[in-house]
Structure 1
């Protein structure tokens, strides 16, 4: 048996029981972010050479697939956070979670770019403004930072889940939702429908779908339909990744390179399967929460922070010392953003958003007052007769 029997009634829309946080997910999120960091730091042109770490890059090149792990975790966590909530409260929690650190990132990186410290592109005011909304991808405006493209994928997914929450999330509706998503995803690819593809997210959908199914397994126990969706997500992910240009193929050859990529994607899925069935429940150390808190700001800030530091330090310190210094500096910046931006702003923003959901819309002070009742007519003006 891979999982226990269902823990709660399948169609109960109640809030989750049991521990409110799976700390092992914080560990996996941090590992995914660190993989992306090492991939970018190893590949950046700031070293002044196309391959500063020939041996190390054979490993760090697979850090690019950390983004796929992010999407898989998001499918699991976002369904968990939306369960039992209204669409409004879910939206408030997501906005408060995403925007404070993101705004800080846009402001800091925008200032660096406008000041000429980042020389690849100097954004216009319109580009900065579009990036502040996090909607720049939909507006066809250039991302200020290379990692922002994933945020559009997340935003569209959040909108889909918010619409689902407005209907009411239950176990059987989740199965129908996942089945419809898989079917329409394939149809959109078949007919080359741009609108459907924009909504259904063909790049990240296999991971979101599998992550949601794994949450159902975690919450209700293993049964055939959720496992089928996990398998479908894995199959779609493999088909998609093998259709991409794979640096591993150039490095290791077609057979071994493709096998390594399939192995990495499969390992990502296996890690989340282990979370879903409770095999990693013992990894519940409190300090993992701190790692999880660093993940989002580390992801947002590392690229240009690392670029500037590596560019400045690789000659005086040497490559082998500059790499850990740049990594430590990126972690320090992430910690500062978490303490100085996220911790004070997130609860205030969320509270303000949730208060706006409780406005009494029936008390409209601009409503036209009801006309006063007519005074009784004097006796002299009353009609005579019967």
Structure 2
């Protein structure tokens, strides 16, 4: 029997996997800035009973009502981690390892190095009465490895970057290096979830350091939401998101809730903690589903660009600004707070314009160049 051969044009093409919608997710940039402002609100006014050098009193005395709301701002970090899971999965999909590494290093390092130098120099000024770290520890801080090495931190927020770096390493080795596929990403999420839970039960410090059980569900939930972005009907993706939210809210309550106690400088209800964690998951889910695609304003991209440098400099340099505005210029606390935020955003714009814009593409090109 002679088999009929269809012309190439008439042959049925193999089914193609669904592709994500290509709209720029500018709303995600806006959510980044919201998370950063949450953290800033916590640092500036959420430590209720702690007397700070910048204010001269406690935040509770300065913000009798708002300080209890600002206390939840520390959960902006968990929102960041959900966003990071989404973005890293998106940026690592279909990328070789060299390109992925170049993208991450060039994104993180220029502003980070600049922030280390700026904070060190400002704290060294005679008029700024804040303690500087030793020269040796300052140099170690340039590696982002200061925390595991036991060195003093120049930037208070750099502990979150250490968590991000460990996440990047896990994702690169398990997903980017062999090549990202839906099945591989699902297996990575399932394997990391189970391993993180077992690590917490085993109470093994090394595994805890690598697998980060307290933060893993937020990164994993973000990855699951990127799978939802690719295919909103993917039951496995939704399963990853739901399980991650269930574990994540537990980890957040476990780490941040305590019974009312005057010895602690802030207090949060367990319901409030769960609510903020839920907000992070739901906000990224709404963006992943495309429901905010109409929020396509260019200023959101600018907001996203300012978020990282703002996050780096806002805490320590913010204290310097608060002390100058509130104690030396006698500006009321409720005016000092927004003025400090605007000052840190202006500094973030300078870092973005004169550090990130020229150095990031050069570093990416240099690190991406094949040898």
Instruction: State the TM-score bracket (shorter-chain normalisation).
Output: 0.7 to 0.9
Q: Secondary structure at the match of 1:84?
A: coil
> Is the aligned partner of 1:142 residue 2:145?
no
Of 218, 235, 243, the residue aligned with 1:207 is: 218
Q: CA deviation at 1:17?
A: 5.6
Assess if the C-alpha contact under 8 Å between 1:114 and 1:123 holds in 2. Answer: no
Q: CA deviation at 1:142?
A: 2.0
Task: Tell me the distance in 2 between the aligned counterparts of 1:242 and 1:354.
Answer: 41
Aligned to 1:93: 103
Q: Answer with 167-176 or 215-224: which moved more.
A: 215-224
Normalised to the residue count of structure 1, the TM-score between the two structures is 0.84
Q: CA deviation at 1:121?
A: 3.2
Task: Tell me the distance in 2 between the aligned counterparts of 1:200 and 1:325.
Answer: 39
Q: Secondary structure at the match of 2:269?
A: helix
Q: Secondary structure at the match of 2:147?
A: coil
> Is the aligned partner of 1:105 residue 2:115?
yes
Of 261, 266, 272, the residue aligned with 2:278 is: 266
Task: Tell me the distance in 1 between the aligned counterparts of 2:191 and 2:303.
Answer: 36
> Is the aligned partner of 1:306 residue 2:314?
no
Q: Secondary structure at the match of 2:87?
A: helix
Aligned to 2:340: 326
Q: Secondary structure at the match of 1:213?
A: helix
> Is the aligned partner of 1:237 residue 2:252?
no
Of 22, 35, 56, the residue aligned with 1:48 is: 56
Aligned length, in residue pairs: 343
Superposed CA offset, 1:23-55 (max 9, x none)? 010010010011111221114711111121111
Q: CA deviation at 1:247?
A: 7.0
Q: Secondary structure at the match of 2:146?
A: coil
Assess if the C-alpha contact under 8 Å between 1:238 and 1:265 holds in 2. Answer: yes
Superposed CA offset, 1:255-294 (max 9, x none)? 9921121111112111111112222222111111000000
Q: CA deviation at 1:235?
A: 1.1
The unaligned stretches of length 5 or more in structure 2 are 1-14
Assess if the C-alpha contact under 8 Å between 1:87 and 1:162 holds in 2. Answer: yes
Aligned to 1:376: none
Q: Secondary structure at the match of 1:282?
A: coil
Assess if the C-alpha contact under 8 Å between 1:249 and 1:257 holds in 2. Answer: no
Assess if the C-alpha contact under 8 Å between 2:119 and 2:317 holds in 1. Answer: no
Matches within 5 A, 1:1-386: 9=17, 18-19=21-22, 21-43=24-46, 45=52, 46-50=54-58, 51=60, 52-115=62-125, 119-163=129-173, 164-246=175-257, 257-315=269-327, 316-355=330-369, 358-359=370-371
Higher CA-based Rg: 1
The 1:121–1:222 alpha-carbon spacing in structure 2 relative to 1, beyond 3 Å, is: farther
Q: Answer with 188-197 or 99-108: which moved more.
A: 188-197
The 1:114–1:276 alpha-carbon spacing in structure 2 relative to 1, beyond 3 Å, is: same
**Aligned structure 1 segments of 4 or more residues deviating by more than 6 angstroms:** none
Q: CA deviation at 1:200?
A: 0.9
Q: CA deviation at 1:138?
A: 2.3
Superposed CA offset, 1:93-139 (max 9, x none)? 00000000000001111122344555453211220111001111222
RMSD over aligned CA atoms reads: 2.1
Task: Tell me the distance in 2 between the aligned counterparts of 1:167 and 1:279.
Answer: 33
Task: Tell me the distance in 2 between the aligned counterparts of 1:256 and 1:302.
Answer: 23
